[in-house]
Amino acid sequence: RVSRQHNAGARGWLPAVFRMAEWDADLDHIIPSAVLPPFWAKLVVGFASLLCFARSYDGDFVFDDSEAIVNNKDLRAETPLGDLWRHDFWGSRLSSNTSHKSYRPLTVLTFRVNYYLSGGFHPASFHAVNILLHGGISVLLVDVFSVLFGGLHFTSKGRRLNLAPRSSLLAALLFAVHPVHTECVAGVVGRADLLGALFFLLSFLGYCKAFRETHKEGTRSTFWVLLSILLGAVAMLCKEQGITVLGLNAVFDILVMSKLNVLAVVQKVLHKDRSFENPGLLRNGGLLFRMTLLAAGGAGMLYVRWKIMGTGPPAFTEVDNPASFADSMLVRAINYNYYYSLNAWLLLCPWWLCFDWSMGCIPLIKSVGDWRVIALAALWFCLIGLICQALCSEDSHKRRILSLGLGFLIIPFLPASNLFFRVGFVVAERVLYLPSAGFCMLLTFGFGALSKHTKKKKPIAALVLGVLLINTLRCMVRSGEWRSEEQLFRSALSVCPLNAKVHYNVGKNLADKGNQTAAIRYYREAVRLNPKYVHAMNNLGNILKERNELQEAEELLSLAVQIQPDFAAAWMNLGIVQNSLKRFQAAEQSYRTAIKHRRKYPDCYYNLGRLYADLNRHVDALHAWRNATALKPEHSLAWNNMIILLDNTGNLAQAEAVGREALELIPNDHSLMFSLANVLGKSQKYKESEALFLKAIKAHPNAASYHGNLAVLYHRWGHLDLAKKHYEISLRLDPSASGTKENYGLLRRKLEQMQKRNV
């Protein structure tokens, strides 16, 4: 017999169970019976999910991976574990005004474990974890969809009825191969969304466990509800979106387990029906208790989260989310809804995918006359139609599936909707990872409904198979694009040609590879598209500085600091340009301004020291370089300049002391070995100097100056044959070295004189 579910009698549930089974059977011509057993269904889903994204396995760290992983000190062993709970996702202090307030300590912890187990920043291990996580989530969704499609109906022995095997398998397959997931899976930082989704689903399944009747009919397990809340908190510590599982649990409990008919309730309220004054829903103490627990848990999480944030919400700029800065509420509302329609289009047709949708990629809609308003009208037309069916359909099974599908689509998306707070993006494919499960559920239901009302089943089966195959191929192609920054950035040019950040990133990638001419072209286009893009101006100014186009470099950097007065890097680069133009006073002022805005700026202290050295202000130069090494003990250039300056000014003892101090901190730096060897040679400590020269040459055998200076040492020391050998090696490596040629000539004349004397 079928046991009771909540307050409804078994008699009422038998027709419902049969209706659910009938809906699932509509997909029998699409899903073969051989893969319906849970083990085989999960195996198929897992294989499909791994197949789609396997190409990203040996990809590089790309885009945001650099900041969140490679440059994040929280991954290093020397950083205390406790710092993970005080820092944001990017390794900055949460109390800082510049922090993005993205608090995901558990995700960062998995990065740290990855780093430790792989012995460093080896991207393959990071990518492998992401791919496996997506596979696990896709497999877990088979169980989740089974509950959403089939409901929670148990026999007297506690065995679930109607697992909806066809519907759950098809929905899970659609999810597993959806191309919009590529950013989360192929981009390592997408692990936050993957972990958040994993614990989100575990929390939902845990909540469902509370409705499994064991000892006596009608009992509910408080333990499972509390465990579900705890798992929701864990999900939130992986990605902020995780807290929304509490809302989904509440919707599931009210609409499915308590069988609340929203339309009937609204009608009774409007008609002042007295029967509503004491409905079964309000008499249900178990439901009210569970809602109280969920509400208290959610409020507690939000309170703790707010306290941790410290200084309030993060500060975003207009280029991050231009619609949120619009003065008109109507303009904001229209653009927000247009963004929703774009998100819906990405779920429906995930062909145009881009790593970044900001900076002019989606121009603002400023009037209702813009043709793009049609898109948001179409979105709301579809949504209202689905909501009406979810509320008004006479078929309770249809109402339930549409309500849960919409809930799964909308509730996890709410934190990214701009409704409660401003977000730092326009459209982001990563935030669609969880909502796409609701979309896949609705799509599966649509295929079932289409099959039910169509006599020709084969075209429907071909359509479903075509969607799965096309999405799988698109995933493979897109995963390949995420393997390297060059491919990723160039793939965005055709999708978002108006996005200044895309052109900036292509330019930066080209500059890193030494192609400055092409990089300049893309940087100029980025500045043209966004005349206030200070980072593009700074990078373009740097390249022009290296090409000795100093006037234009100064103009660009001056404009950058005028637009953003606290841009420390631009101030420093402006100082370098002014120094090259012999405008020393202005250069010093620029360096000082940079340090004012970024107190811990070792590179700026280094450049300030170079300026003082050029002005023969030796004490000030040494002081600036000492500040650089204090802030960054491994700053090799600052140490070298101190040694060389002390050497050139005849302070050999002090130069030797500084050199030894530097080598203690950076023992494998061959340039420091070389500088200290020169000092020791002048101090006639030939043996120790020789050892350091040889060690430097072993580390960098093709450095002509290393062989040349070792030859000078041997020349002074009287080891003339060795001197001759290293002079010749040095001249082979650099035939144009005039000093070495001169010294070699002196040595040869000396050797010839010695030969004549011996004869």
708-752, pLDDT tens digit by residue? 999 999 999 989 999 999 999 999 999 998 889 999 888 888 888
Confidence of residue 158 (pLDDT cuts 50, 70, 90): low
CA angle 636, 640, 641 (to 5 degrees): 120
* Beta bridge mates, 161: 153
**CA dihedral sign, ordered 742, 745, 749, 751:** positive
Q: Which of 400, 428, 454 is the last residue of a domain?
A: 454
- Please name every residue paired with 155 in a beta bridge, in sequence order, or none if there are none: 2
- Which SS3 state, helix, strand or coil, does residue 155 take? strand
pLDDT digits (tens, 9 = 90+) for 285-300: 678 888 999 999 999 9
Tell me the three-class secondary structure of 103-146, residue by residue. Answer: CCHHHHHHHHHHHHHHCCCCHHHHHHHHHHHHHHHHHHHHHHHH
What is the torsion angle, in degrees rounded to the nearest 10, for the CA atoms of residue 22, residue 27, residue 28 and residue 29?
A: 140
Residue 399 and residue 504 share a domain: no
- The set of residues, in sequence order, having a beta carbon less than 8 Å from that of 42 and lying 6+ positions away, is 139, 142
More confident residue, 372 or 29: 372
d(CA 321, CA 334): 14
What lies within 8 Å, CB to CB, of 500 at 6+ separation is 359, 360, 525, 526, 527, 529, 530, 533, 536
The verdict on 332 and 195 lying in the same domain is: no
Residue 492 lies inside a defined structural domain of this protein:
no
Which one of 3-12, 221-230, 433-442 scores highest in mean pLDDT?
Answer: 433-442
The pLDDT of residue 28 is 64
Band the pLDDT of 155: cuts 50, 70, 90. low
Contact 536, 504 (CB under 8 A): yes
pLDDT > 60? residue 14: no
Angstrom CA distances, 719 to 106, 702, 741, 749, stand at 62, 22, 18, 15
Token pair 């209202």 is at which residue?
Answer: 384
Q: Which of 269-283, 395-409, 457-471, 590-604 has the highest mean pLDDT?
A: 590-604
Residues of the chain with pLDDT > 70, as a percent, come to 90
Same domain, 288 and 375: no
pLDDT averaged over the chain? 88
For the chain, how far is it from start to end, CA to CA, in angstroms? 120
Structure tokens at 403: 């309500």
Q: Confidence band (pLDDT; 50, 70, 90) for 104?
A: very high
Please give the Cα distance from 418 to 714 (Å, whole number). Answer: 72
| Type of residue numbered 11 | R
| Mean pLDDT to the nearest integer, 190-211 | 94
What is the distance between the alpha carbons of residues 392 and 597, in angstroms, rounded to a whole number? Answer: 60
Residue 211 and residue 71 in one domain: yes
Q: Which domain holds residue 382?
A: 320-454
Of 664, 679, 699, the residue at which a domain comes to its end is 699
pLDDT of residue 22: 58
CA–CA distance, 479 with 477 (Å, rounded to integer) = 5
User: 220 CB contacts (<8 Å, ≥6 apart)?
Assistant: 210, 211, 286, 290
**∠ CA(74), CA(79), CA(82), 5° rounding?**
85
Q: How many CB atoms lie within 10 A of CB 640?
A: 20
Say if residue 525 is in the same domain as residue 633. no
CA distance to 53, 103, 253, 413, 578, per residue, from 199 (Å): 21, 16, 19, 16, 54
Assess whether 158 and 296 both reside in one domain. Answer: yes
Tokens 């003082």 sit on residue: 612
* CATH number of residue 741's parent domain: 1.25.40
In a shared domain, residues 714 and 685: no
Closest CA to 87 of 242, 243, 239, 309: 309
Ranking 89-93, 184-188, 247-251, 678-682 by mean pLDDT, the lowest is 89-93
pLDDT at residue 12 is higher than 50: no
Q: What is the pLDDT of residues 419-461, one digit of tens each?
A: 888 888 889 999 999 999 999 999 999 988 888 877 777 888 8
User: Residue 423: what are its φ and ψ, rounded to 5°?
Assistant: -105, 165
Tell me, yes or no, whether 360 lies in a domain.
yes
| Residue at token pair 């927000």 | 336
| φ, ψ dihedrals at 369, nearest 5° | -80, -10
The answer to whether 677 touches 709, Cβ cutoff 8 Å, is: yes
Task: Please count the residues of the chain.
Answer: 759
Contact 506, 520 (CB under 8 A): no
> Where do runs of H (alpha helix) occur along 668-719?
670-682, 686-699, 704-717
CA distance 148 to 150: 6
Q: What is the pLDDT of residue 6?
A: 43
Q: Do 708 and 681 fall into the same domain? A: no
Residues 6+ apart with CB under 8 A from 331: 323, 364, 365, 366
Domain presence at residue 243? yes
Return the pLDDT at 280. 52
Q: What is the CATH number of the domain that holds 673?
A: 1.25.40.10
**What's the token pair of residue 740?**
């070495």
Distances (CA, A) of 408 to 297, 419, 437, 732: 20, 18, 7, 71
Residues contacting residue 558 through CB under 8 Å, at least 6 positions apart: 574
pLDDT score for 162: 72
Statement: residue 552 has pLDDT above 90 = yes
- 543 falls within a domain: yes
- 145 in Cβ contact with 15 (< 8 Å): no
Cα–Cα distance between 432 and 148 in angstroms, integer?
A: 19
pLDDT of 619 > 70? The answer is yes
Distance CA 289, CA 520 (A): 64
pLDDT at residue 434 in the model: 95
For 45, 436, 480, the CA distances from 55, given in Å and listed in that order, are: 17, 22, 6
Residues 79 and 201 in one domain: yes
Question: Average of pLDDT values for 166-173?
Answer: 92
- Specify the range with the lowest mean pLDDT, choosing from 11-15, 387-391, 702-706: 11-15
Whether 502 is in a domain gets the answer yes
Residue whose C-alpha is closest to residue 144's, from 172, 166, 178: 172
Count the domains in the chain.
5
Token representation of residue 118: 């792989």
CA–CA distance, 730 with 741 (Å, rounded to integer): 9
Give pLDDT, residue 274. Answer: 56
Task: Answer whether residue 471 is part of any domain.
Answer: no
Contact call for residues 700 and 713 (beta carbons, < 8 A): no
632 vs 600: CA distance, rounded Å? 9
Q: Distances in Å between the alpha carbon of 464 and those of 174, 437, 451, 469? A: 9, 17, 11, 9
Helix (H) or strand (E) holding 161, with range, is: strand 160-161
Phi, psi angles (nearest 5°) of residue 153:
-120, 130
> What pLDDT does 5 receive?
43
The answer to whether residues 709 and 695 belong to one domain is no
- The stretches of 222-328 forming alpha helices (DSSP H) are 222-238, 245-252, 262-270, 280-283, 285-309
User: How many whole angstroms separate alpha carbon 65 and alpha carbon 56?
Assistant: 14
- Answer whether residue 313 is part of any domain: no
Query: Is the separation of the CB atoms in 131 and 53 below 8 Å?
Result: yes
- Does 661 share its domain with 592? no
Query: Which tokens hold the place of 570?
Result: 């631009």
Q: How far apart are CA 83 and CA 430, in angstroms?
A: 26
Q: Are residues 160 and 230 in the same domain?
A: yes
Residues 379 and 344: beta-carbon distance below 8 Å: yes
Q: Does residue 7 belong to any structural domain of this protein?
A: no
Which sign, positive or negative, has the C-alpha torsion 132, 136, 139, 142?
negative
Looking at per-residue confidence, does 84 or 211 come out higher? 84
CA distance 424 to 416: 9
Q: Which alpha helices (H) appear in 453-484, and where do they start and end?
A: 458-481
Contact 747, 715 (CB under 8 A): yes
Residue written as token pair 């200070």: 534
